[in-house]
Structure 1
Amino acid sequence: MDKIVRQEWDDKSERRLFSVVDVITVLTRSKNPAVYWRVLKNRLEKEGGNETVTKCNGLKMLAADGKMRITDVADVETLLRIIQSIPSPNAEPVKQWLAKVGYERLEEIKDPEKAIQRGIDTYTKKGYSDEWIGYRLRSVDTRKGLTHEWSQRGIMGIEYAVLTNEIYKGWSGMTAQEYQNLKGLTDENLRDHMNSMELILTMLAEATTREVTKSTDAHGFVENKSAAQLGSSIASSTKKQIEETTHKPIITPDNYLPDSNERIKLE
């Protein structure tokens, strides 16, 4: 039986959400996935998995009868936790993959260089140049530095995504979702599909935002939003100067892959 898993992009949280009962149908072949999910939810709650259950919010989706009906949805992280609790042979490959990822994560915690090398190996196999990989890894450090700064200044939950959008809008003129749409992406990592100059300007915007945040001693969402707008505007000015000098746009619909027009989709 082929089953389409319904999904929606949530602009507020910038996450792709999936129908839980559809995933359960695929993995268990249950004739009544709604009942299966209800029983599983009760079991998870009794086993102390309240956090997983509460992260499954209701969302209206098109049902089999053609009507919009509320169904529980979850992001990828929450779905993986649910899958771990499903006793089905179809779920075993996913569970084994989770165990492998968990082991690799523990190894990376003990030796952070392993995580860096794994990232380099992955990008190299995809055909990225050493130069691009260097920019991408530095962009990760820049992003972590900024989000850590925000965490020390009262930023919580969805505010991270909102501030990130302010930075994207400030230097590129687009939100993260609009940027993804331009490149024809869905839930792929936007930065993995940027060219070198796009990455550099994103780093500049985030690094400058961090410096502005520290120099103005911003606290709370409103002050950090102002810092993000100022920091990203500096990157925007740099972008305009580069484009005026080179006579070509920095932002393009292309997904970056050297010496190829092929659109890439990272695993």
Structure 2
Amino acid sequence: MRNLLRAESYFIKRDTMFKGISLLFLIASLVLAFWIGSKGGFEVANLAEPLTIVMPLSIFFYFIIPIYTCFFSTEGFEYGSIKVILASGQSRFIYITGKYLSALKIIVWWMLQFTGVFYLTYMIAALIIGNDIGNRNLNADLIQVFRVLGLNILYLSAYATLIIMVGLIIKRTASAVVATFLIIFGDFMISGYFRDAPSTWLRAVSDHALTTQVMKFSGIYVVNSQHIVLTGAKDFMEVLLIPVIIIAISLSVTYISFGKRDIHA
């Protein structure tokens, strides 16, 4: 497993797409920090406030990271490296687990890079301007930030397992990319179009869609001009169980199907 993870890390660090997306997130975090900060005068109520500002923007990760995960999951078939890895003695179980753990590392890195650069840029600009840093509601904001950050990593991991399953079943990158787009935008459409449907069942499907849950814990979900947020224990249990169930099902299907199929790279 360790050797496989090292090999995956070596591939990722030299991957042009990974470098390009990392640069994109870097530029985006810098631009957003200056743009948002300039509109509010870079005021800082407490040390965690810049992070509370950037957390709702993490919705954009759900358009980009699944696409990269798709390419990442099918590269073994595209370049034929999967046969080499399996022939070297690595089991299929280890290969799938290595792919998932590597995808998780990518998710954590991009989340920390984006939020970290935004935070440092915002705070440095505030200090240069001479704004005082307050201490109002620090504990509440810190709890909110860590909760949203952790849930984003969990939900992006759920997307990653789902896309890895699709990629390893389809094998062909072009077809897997199309399927990934359908999953991403299909989930967004289900969340948006079904929430006002006359059918109770369709509204329930919309309410339990991944996108709906992401917007709820990010604080940007609005229904009939009403701001919907997580309130009770039931909401928090629901927001945790949905991605965990998706991860468990996706990994189980991947392990079973991939373990029984012939490899044609």
Choose between structure 1 and 2: higher strand proportion: 1
TM over 0.5: no
Highest CA radius of gyration, 1 or 2?
A: 1
The two structures have a TM-score, normalised by structure 1, of 0.29
Choose between structure 1 and 2: higher helix proportion: 2
